[in-house]
A and B are shown apart, each in its own frame.
Chain A
């Protein structure tokens, strides 16, 4: 039965779930949970928290039973909820961080992204280079501002369209594109050694 359901879109599956088909929800979960986990992890690199949030996203879908007849995709809704959860958590953490850290932290924050990245020289070995590159990319990504990082992840990692990203973030499509452009510029600066 779940195999047959694989051919359905998320919205169709959700409709089936509302009609009482519990397996339809299982398919939605299997399809979307890795993406959501990935997205949340890029925002909050904390696995237990990510797991909790992904679960919470689906529970919200079950509890709220939103109406998608307007054309909104289920995945868009899921990312929207996930993003809100992540943003709230980041704000909470920032608040805690600001309370606990003294003034020296401000100087550190004023450094440029390049300055924050540790100086690791490129090495000829391809495997090592790839891991080095990955680490550098992850470092650069984590140092991006949240609004740019989320756009980059949603676009490049999750492969969402700009219009959908705009819908998730609740902003203009051009704004999303601008954020993407700035994100790429900063990443190019950070990955200068590899270009």
Chain B
């Protein structure tokens, strides 16, 4: 049994040499005793023969697979691309190295890049872009759309007051409390409080300005009264007062302590001055009714002059220097400005009427028309046509719509928009005033 096992182990060990015998390398040496064993041992001999026949059979079969013809060219092109990438990396390395060495080497490293077509084209592009950017300011701008003209005032959101109303009245307490709170509150709350205080201040300022406005109205009332007194009809002060109404007093609700005591020339307040005026003129009227007629133009007291000099100050604040008295219509001023050729003034007044800054009894259609004409007069056809279009769309039954359409058509012709012009002119064919003109114009345009 031992002998069999020993032999089997020997055969198993020696079969490792079978590969060397069957398909070994040329320089492989197989020990003679192994070769002898394979000759003498029947099983090992059969095993060796089996391997040899297998390998012979396998070598008859061509196991090589021909690669695709484009393989080599693909690989070569991929290598070339890779080399270019590598060149870029190497160039950077060289650049850094040359920087360390000195300027001459650095320039040498840069040279191939500077003369590279890609670099050159990018440089040219950058230069051209820069040139265009610099020159763009020298070219005329396009007209801005009208929308920008009429600015809307954004009302800032009202922040809730962090302080209770009771504390507002007790200012000293509030200030103390605030000082205490600011020491305790975080920064964001403090900011909120500051904002709230600011909004309160703004409200107070508004109240002051409205008070000023009322004072001004009362002054105007007084002025009007004086005007009426000075009329040749010899109207008495009482009548004048009846006609214009008593001068309105400033609102009592104004809490601004500065306002009531604010001197309006001559060291008097607005209220006191207006009352003085009325009393003085009343006295004059009563004492010498014919005196005014003799004098012709009545003597305006110095207090009025002082009032007049004070008035522009407040008016300038409001930006409504044109609104002079109750019966006054800013449209008239705009019309006058337009006829005088002061289109800017006309546009300013009419725009204020449209956006509600000025109140006017004139229908909006007239305002739009005059505004459009003003823009046209100014040479801004783009803006003019916007108002004309608005007029046509919003007020189709406007009394002067035909005139407006004719003007609009003229503008369109000037702008080179023939189709729109023809459309407007066609709408005028039924009009008595413009039918003939419109027909001729259409023919000439077609």
**Chain A contacts to B: CB under 8 angstroms:** 22, 25-26, 29-30, 33-34, 37-38, 41-42, 47, 50-51, 54-55, 58-59, 62-63, 130, 133-134, 137-138, 141, 153, 155-157, 161-163, 174, 177-178, 180-181, 184-185, 187-188, 191, 194-195
Contact = CB atoms under 8 A, between A and B. Distances in A.
B162 interface: no
Given A177-B16, A188-B51, A195-B54, A133 B60 contact: yes
Interface in B11-42: 15-16, 18-20, 22-25
Q: Which of B62, B71, B86 has the most CB of A within 10 A?
A: B71
Contacts of A133: 57, 60-61
B382 to A, nearest CB: 63
Interface in B55-88: 55, 57-68, 71-72, 74-76, 78-80, 82-83, 86
Interface of B: 15-16, 18-20, 22-25, 50-51, 53-55, 57-68, 71-72, 74-76, 78-80, 82-83, 86
B75 A180 contact: no
A33 B57 contact: no
B390 to A, nearest CB: 69
Contacts of A177: 16, 19-20
Contacts of B53: 188, 195
A93 to B, nearest CB: 19
A156 B54 contact: no
Contacts of A195: 50, 53-54, 57
Nearest to A164: B25
B65 A25 contact: no
A146 to B, nearest CB: 17
A181 B79 contact: no
Nearest to B50: A188
A25 B61 contact: no
A63 B82 contact: yes
B18 A156 contact: no
Nearest to A156: B58
Contact of B59 (A22, A54, A156): A156
Contacts of A161: 25
The B interface, classified by DSSP as helix, strand, loop or mixed, is: helix
Q: Which of B61, B75, B82 has the most CB of A within 10 A?
A: B75
B75 A184 contact: no
Contacts of B22: 184
Contacts, number: 112
Given A33-B67, A137-B63, A161-B25, A59 B79 contact: yes
Given A177-B19, A181-B15, A185-B51, A62 B79 contact: yes
Contacts of A38: 63-65, 67
Nearest to A45: B65
Q: Which of B15, B24, B25 has the most CB of A within 10 A?
A: B25
Given A29-B79, A63-B82, 16 more contacts: A29-B76, A30-B72, A34-B66, A37-B71, A42-B65, A51-B68, A137-B58, A156-B23, A156-B58, A177-B20, A178-B16, A180-B23, A181-B15, A188-B51, A194-B57, A195-B54
A191 B74 contact: no
Given A133-B57, A156-B55, A181-B15, A47 B68 contact: yes
B60 to A, nearest CB: 7
Nearest to B66: A34
A59 B75 CA distance: 8
Contacts of B23: 155-156, 180
Contact of A59 (B19, B51, B78): B78
A163 B27 CA distance: 12
Contacts of A37: 65, 67, 71
B51 A51 contact: no
B67 A58 contact: no
A181 B50 CA distance: 11
A161 B64 CA distance: 18
A42 B54 CA distance: 19
Nearest to A131: B61
B24 to A, nearest CB: 8
A137 B25 contact: no
Given A191-B57, A194-B57, A58 B68 contact: no
A185 B47 CA distance: 9
A166 B58 CA distance: 22
B75 A33 contact: yes
A97 B23 CA distance: 36
Contacts of B75: 29, 33, 54-55, 58
B86 to A, nearest CB: 7
